[in-house]
Amino acid sequence: MQIRPDRETLQTPERLDTRFGVVAGLYVAALIAPALLLVVVKRLQLGSESTAIGLLGAVVTVCTAVVAWQVTRRGGIVAWFNSTWTALLVPAVGIIPLFVYFWYVFLFIAFTVTDLQPESAANLIGFAGFLSGIAATCLGTALVQMARARIVDETVVDSDVRVEWTAGWPRRDRVRVAIGTLVAVGLPFGLAFWQWGQIVFHALPLGIVLVFSIASLVDERTYRLTPAGLEQRRGTRWFVSRQLTPWSQFDGVSVTDDAVVLHRQLPYIDIRCSRQDLVTHEADVIAALEAHLDRRDL
């Protein structure tokens, strides 16, 4: 018989801290500030590169401040980042500027290595926009992790944690994931690059994000069983990724020869814990999971 969770919904803070607001502001600024300034530079035919850089810094500062002020007042916004699709989309949006500004990068480098002078500072701003796309990808990744950590902080009470364990996927499943990732991501990117070259090169960051996202699923991590859901932690002492998955996202639990499997509906991927990593407290882990999930292999 399952135990009814004390709290079935994820909790979010009423307000967010300044650090989260600044990261969110920089993320938005990295995406829109170069585009806004590029329009101004083209319309005014601004030729001074120093002036253009100064204006870019001013736009980034104002955009970051406005977004940070708005975000810190809306704590519920972090709930958006608990979705798998959002976690992939937010960093991936940074790839768009890599396509948009690539021609400006080419022109900027061409004018830099020659004695020719451009008519305006548009190429410099386009080059900055290209770099901002890379920055947006990094900031988006950090934003997702920070949002999920704040959900965990608000929802999980340490005294409510029933059992904690550390495990990775079984070796056989890791090999399958590696081969599947190579076939599903590496092969299409390789063939496309062979056909279209530079065009596909811009999508390489998206492929890297996908590969690292898939690879992270099989890494060893620490699990904490709570009334609200299953908390997952991984990383080092310098950086820890934390996520809370509600029990409503699981369909049951089963035990195979080499793993304890927590089943989830697509597009979510099942969570697998190697039984070899659970030797000392496997019975406690299975009993705690059965209190929240139906056993599927009985």
State how beta strands 163-167 and 221-226 pair: antiparallel
Higher pLDDT, 243 or 103: 243
What is the radius of gyration, based on Cα positions, of the chain?
Answer: 23
Mean of the per-residue pLDDT values of the chain:
83
Decide if pLDDT at 223 tops 90.
Answer: yes
Q: Given this model, what pLDDT does residue 288 score?
A: 93
Q: Given this model, what pLDDT does residue 4 score?
A: 39
Quick one: pLDDT band at residue 6, thresholds 50, 70, 90? very low
Mean pLDDT confidence for 96-105 = 83
Decide if pLDDT at 63 tops 90.
Answer: yes
Q: Given this model, what pLDDT does residue 54 score?
A: 92
Q: Given this model, what pLDDT does residue 132 score?
A: 93
Q: Given this model, what pLDDT does residue 3 score?
A: 41
| Residue 146 and residue 118 in contact, taking contact as beta carbons nearer than 8 Å | no
pLDDT (tens digit per residue) in 134-163: 899 999 989 999 999 999 999 988 888 999
Quick one: pLDDT band at residue 12, thresholds 50, 70, 90? confident
The single-letter DSSP state of residue 275 is G
Mean pLDDT confidence for 269-284 = 87
Decide if pLDDT at 236 tops 80.
Answer: no
Q: Provide the Cα torsion 254, 258, 262, 265; round to 10°.
A: -90
Q: Given this model, what pLDDT does residue 102 score?
A: 80
Q: How many helices (H) and strands (E) does the chain have?
A: 11, 7
pTM: 0.80
Q: Given this model, what pLDDT does residue 152 score?
A: 93
- Write the CB contacts of 103 (distance below 8 Å, at least 6 apart in sequence): 126
Percent of the chain predicted with pLDDT > 90: 37
- Name all contacts of 80-86 with Cβ < 8 Å and 24+ positions apart: 80/147, 81/143, 81/144, 81/147, 81/148, 81/151, 82/10, 82/147, 82/148, 82/151, 82/243, 82/244, 84/267, 84/268, 85/267, 86/144
The C-alpha atoms of residue 125 and residue 52 are separated, in whole angstroms, by 7
Q: Given this model, what pLDDT does residue 205 score?
A: 58
Higher pLDDT, 250 or 106: 250
Decide if pLDDT at 106 tops 60.
Answer: yes
Mean pLDDT confidence for 29-56 = 88
| Residue 272 and residue 232 in contact, taking contact as beta carbons nearer than 8 Å | no
